[in-house]
A = this chain, B = another copy of it.
Amino acid sequence: MNSVSDRWSPAPRDPLDDTLRLECGVYGVFDVPEAAAITALGLHALQHRGQEACGIATFDGQRFHTERHMGHVGDAFTGADLVQRLPGTAAIGHTRYSTSGGSFIRNVQPMFADLAAGGVAIAHNGNLTNALTLREQLVEEGAIFQSTSDSEVILHLIARSRKGKIIDRFIDALSRIEGGYALVALTNKKLIGVRDPLGIRPLVLGEFQGRYVLASETCALDIIGATFVRDVEHGEMVVIDQDGLKSLRPFPAQRARPCIFEYVYFARPDSVVNGRSVYEVRKRMGRRLAQETPADVDVVVPVPDSGVPAALGFAQEAGLPYELGIIRNHYVGRTFIEPTQGLRELGVRMKLSPNRSVLAGKRVMLIDDSIVRGTNSVRVVRMVREAGAAEVHLRSASPPLMYPDFYGIDMPDRDKLLAANKSLEEIREFIGVETMGFLSVEGLYWAMNSAPRDPVNPQFTDHYFTGDYPTRLLDREIAEGRNEQAERQLSFLVGA
């Protein structure tokens, strides 16, 4: 029986969950056979950018087809009939981790609209900083929203544009949105890729069997054997059709300012982002960390998995042995029952396990990529100590995280960010380590092989560490303004 239903209750975020999450990965191909199968592979390589839901839209020359699922790409887009279900030679795809708006299937991208000018499907990674403001205007004008996704805001702007051609409508819509985003769109004639004016979110262009591919990261080119052509540039709109690729510049020229956190945490280490190997940057973070915050230890141990390259760099720079002192269990323990007898550190032990032979009696240097709320660090340190470590030292391969993000990263509020609320010594004490250290912002720029940070017009989006946001934050400003007077509330639908 078909037992599809239009409701989904998301598992609440584990209170022990001390991670950052990225909203999305995007993908697009044009003029290749079995575009849906190619796109499914690309999305699989982008799974780390969003594990909650995924979707694909194709165009078969006459009709658009979409499928959107909760869950992983490898569970959703399989089956011998995939290319029958999603026929066509052009496709876009999306992986998603939900942020605001809830985990309903209605919110899963790509979004589709059937405009007078023809159909258009759209998917994006990132966040608009004026989405709520635009949405209120659009609703006021009679637009009906079916989701809380920013992509639907863009669709409505396109639908209501007074311009004629779809590309002109698109540009018209882009002129009204603010924020950081990389988006892909599919019309009945074209595949479109756009990167925000500062290039905050990444997007690359590849070549596969003589045709163009768009992807959030190069690892999604490698999986299908496509070759990297170049980054889509900041503020660039590429339009791909039967005649090839056209590059448009719909925004006023600005200096690029890509997100530095892609290097710290989000991107896969084998990806090359904005011309830099993520793996190499991370190793250099570790090297610089060893220079800035040395310690007298016996062994360097990464907190798996994202701390691995920095730990290698630290160990190489410091001339210390690098050892797998903590083993990660890659099988996911979804919603295990915590027995009432109160097992200590169960949350962390489900994923990480101490390798006693490496830790017992040793002075251990732990390397993590970043410290968010610090609760995870507390548990990992306690586990390492219980496994017999003589001393435990901790280093964060990124500077102290102190300011929230508004460009597509799911981050706790400022009052939950450990480094925003405690001094270095308080942090050391809270986590319970012999010494604690963070990479400096200067060190981070060094690791990027960049010139020193330009305080007037920084080379990277780095407000997480500096508070220096690259754009205005319109929705936030309005919300703060209204807060003094009245609640701003859209009557909201739960479910579907």
Contacts and interface: CB of A to CB of B under 8 A. Distances in A.
Size class of A's contact patch? 35 or more
B73 A337 contact: no
A492 B6 contact: no
Contacts of A305: 330
Contact of A8 (B2, B321, B355): B2
Interface string A61-87: 001111111111111111110110110
B270 A356 contact: yes
Contact of A65 (B209, B327, B493): B493
Interface string A317-345: 00001111001011111111111110111
Given A225-B344, A490-B114, A493-B66, A219 B277 contact: no
Interface centre among A33, A77, A224, A357 (most CB of B within 10 A): A357
B146 A223 contact: no
Contacts of A339: 33-34, 37-38, 41, 83
Contact of A493 (B45, B108, B112): B112
Nearest to A330: B330
Nearest to A156: B144
Interface of A: 1-11, 32-34, 37-38, 40-41, 44-45, 47-48, 51, 55, 63-80, 82-83, 85-86, 105, 108, 112-116, 118-119, 136, 139-146, 152, 155-156, 159-161, 188, 209, 219, 222-225, 268-270, 272, 277, 279-280, 305, 308-309, 312, 316, 321-324, 327, 329-341, 343-346, 349-350, 353-358, 490-496
Contacts of A82: 337
B324 A279 contact: yes
Given A144-B156, A223-B353, A7 B343 contact: no
A86 B494 CA distance: 9
Given A74-B334, A78-B335, A496-B66, A324 B308 contact: yes
A321 B319 CA distance: 11
- Which are the 10 A-B pairs with shortest beta-carbon distances? A277-B357, A142-B160, A5-B69, A119-B491, A74-B333, A6-B68, A47-B331, A142-B159, A37-B339, A66-B495
Contact of A331 (B44, B77, B159, B356): B44
A187 B69 CA distance: 30
Contact of A79 (B225, B272, B322, B335): B335
Contacts of A223: 346, 349-350, 353
B279 A70 contact: no
A69 B6 contact: yes
A38 to B, nearest CB: 6
User: How many copies of this chain does the complex contain?
Assistant: 4
8 contacts: A4-B105, A40-B336, A47-B331, A78-B337, A115-B139, A116-B139, A219-B327, A322-B322
A140 B145 CA distance: 17
Nearest to A155: B144
Given A222-B353, A496-B66, A496-B67, A341 B48 contact: no
Contact of A64 (B41, B78, B312, B492): B492
Contacts of A77: 336
B2 A70 contact: yes
B114 A329 contact: no
Contact of A44 (B322, B350, B354, B494): B350
B37 A337 contact: yes
Contact of A333 (B44, B160, B358, B496): B44
Nearest to A148: B114
Contacts of A219: 327, 353
B139 A114 contact: yes
A140 B47 CA distance: 38
Contacts of A113: 144-145
Contact of A6 (B108, B115, B323, B345): B108
Nearest to A282: B324
Contact of A225 (B33, B47, B119, B343): B343
Nearest to A359: B270
A475 B345 CA distance: 47
Nearest to A83: B337
Contacts of A2: 8-11, 70-71
A7 B357 contact: no
A316 B130 CA distance: 53
Given A345-B225, A357-B280, A340 B74 contact: no
A330 to B, nearest CB: 5
Contact of A4 (B7, B47, B331): B7
A76 B5 contact: yes
A324 B309 contact: yes
